[in-house]
Amino acid sequence: MLANRRTPGPVRRLALAGLLACAGAPAHAQSIEPRVYAPAPVGLNFLVLAYADSTGGLATDNSTPLKDPRLHVHGPILGYARTFDLLGKLAKFDAILPAASLSGTATFQGQAVSREVKGLMDPLVRLSVNLLGSPALTAQEFRSYRQDLIFGASLQVGVPLGQYDDTRVVNLSAHRWSFQPEIGISKALGRWIVEFSTGVVAYTTNRDFFGGQHRHQDPIWSARTNVIYNFPSGPWLSVDTNYFTGGETTVDGRPENNLQRNWRVGTTFAYPLNASMSLKLNASRGVSARTGNNIDLVGVALQYRWASLR
């Protein structure tokens, strides 16, 4: 048996809640992460080591004007999250530090380009708050909690600290800040959980794009749905979809005519290894992309959780 009798059932299941979407970290607007607003007691810490592999377009910036991209990006991702009490509401802070190896070819402005590079990608930090339906509870108080309808909000920030070379059009960093506010709901229906969220990603201007040009990108609007089934004894499976649109770019004021209107689908599976550790597998792919710069992504993540000492 995987259960630990010293650990309350509802608390133990939080080891499987998937509080970090580490395996999908590189693709901000394309994220189809489930359980962003999953309930939890305060004072829990999560450490995640993940590995992600993407093929096709540029996972770090899918608006880069590439034709026929055949790029391979893969590497480890380190993540940390902590739940805490914010004015009586359940809040969570998480940080993700990805690294990667990139190789492949594409066509840029009619010319064939190739790239091989290793290094850090842009880190992500996020604050999320469950505003309704999931108050800040201790582990003991959480034993009697049962989810119904949760309404939450979050803000994720992309920090431009990754590898960047202004003489190359393909990089591991987007070399700009990103800000992604989002609102979402999570409804429990027996063993099922249905989630919906919507948000927008806004970007600062990259003032050193490909030889010192100024590259500006319009916001990208997105909507995500996740349908989750909780199996007995802890495992869960999610079917995930994401739609995003917008994101047209200009370089030194010249429009690039690259409006995005893309669909992604995927699945996530989490399985408990013991009372403190879980394994998460996920895969997603683009099924429709107006710009043609699509990616297929697979990932695996090992998550360890522990409670803070009081």
What is the b/e burial string over 260-274, where b = at least 16 CB atoms within 10 angstroms of the residue's CB? bebbbebebebbbee
Average pLDDT over every residue of 84-104: 96
Does residue 74 register a pLDDT over 80?
yes
Residue-wise pLDDT for 209-220, tens only, equals 988 999 999 999
Residue-wise pLDDT for 187-197, tens only, equals 999 999 999 99
Percent of the chain with pLDDT over 70: 87
In this predicted model, which residue has the larger pLDDT, 28 or 108?
Answer: 108
Residue 163 tokens read as 């590898």
pLDDT band at 169 (very low <50, low <70, confident <90, very high): confident
pLDDT of res. 6:
42
Residue 100 tokens read as 């990667």
Sign of the torsion formed by the C-alpha atoms of 35, 51, 77 and 233: positive
User: Which helix (H) or strand (E) is 133 found in, with range?
Assistant: strand 124-135
pTM: 0.90
In this predicted model, which residue has the larger pLDDT, 30 or 9?
Answer: 30
pLDDT band at 68 (very low <50, low <70, confident <90, very high): confident
In this predicted model, which residue has the larger pLDDT, 120 or 109?
Answer: 120
pLDDT band at 32 (very low <50, low <70, confident <90, very high): confident
Angstrom distance (rounded) from CA 19 to CA 21: 7
Nearest one of 100, 95, 63, 101 to 81, comparing CA atoms: 95
Does residue 293 register a pLDDT over 90?
no
Domains located in the chain, CATH noted: 9-307 (2.40.128.130)
Angstrom distance (rounded) from CA 151 to CA 143: 21
